[in-house]
Amino acid sequence: MARKKIYRTNKGKMIDMEAMRAQNEAAVATGNMNVNAKGDEIKGGKVVRTVKERVAPHYAAKKQTARTSLKPEIKRQDAQLNTPVKDEPVVEEQPIEKVRTRDDGSTYKEIMYSDGSMEVEELEAAPAKKKAKKKASKKKPSV
Question: For residues 103-121, b (16+ Cβ closer than 10 Å) or e, as one string?
Answer: eeeeeeeeeeeeeeeeeee
Within-domain flag for 44: yes
Containing domain of residue 23, as a range?
Answer: 6-59
In this structure, is residue 140 part of a structural domain? no
Q: What is the pLDDT of residue 134?
A: 65
Number of structural domains found in the chain: 2
- Which tens digit of pLDDT belongs to each residue from 14-39? 999 889 888 988 888 888 989 988 88
pLDDT of residue 85: 64
10 and 54 housed in the same domain: yes
What residues form DSSP beta bridges with 47? 42
The verdict on residue 111 lying in a domain is yes
- Max intra-chain CA distance, the chain: 106
Establish if 134 belongs to a structural domain.
no
Is the pTM higher than 0.75? The answer reads no
In a domain, 68, yes or no: no
Q: Tens of pLDDT along 85-113? A: 667 777 777 889 999 998 888 899 999 98
Report if residue 138 sits inside a domain.
no
Share of the chain above pLDDT 70, in %: 80
Residue 70 lies in a domain: no
Domain annotation covers residue 115 = yes
Cα four-point dihedral sign 28, 32, 35, 39:
negative
Q: How much is the pLDDT for 71? A: 81
34-62 confidence digits (pLDDT tens): 998 888 999 988 999 999 999 998 888 87
Q: Say if CB 12 and CB 25 are below 8 A apart.
A: no
User: What pLDDT is stored for residue 4 in this prediction?
Assistant: 76
Residue-level pLDDT at 125 = 83
The string of DSSP letters for 61-118 reads HSPP-----SSPPPPTTT--TTPPPPPPPP-PPPPEEEEEE-TTS-EEEEEE-TTS-E
Per the document, the length of the chain is 143
**Closest C-alpha to 110, from 124, 125, 96, 126:** 96
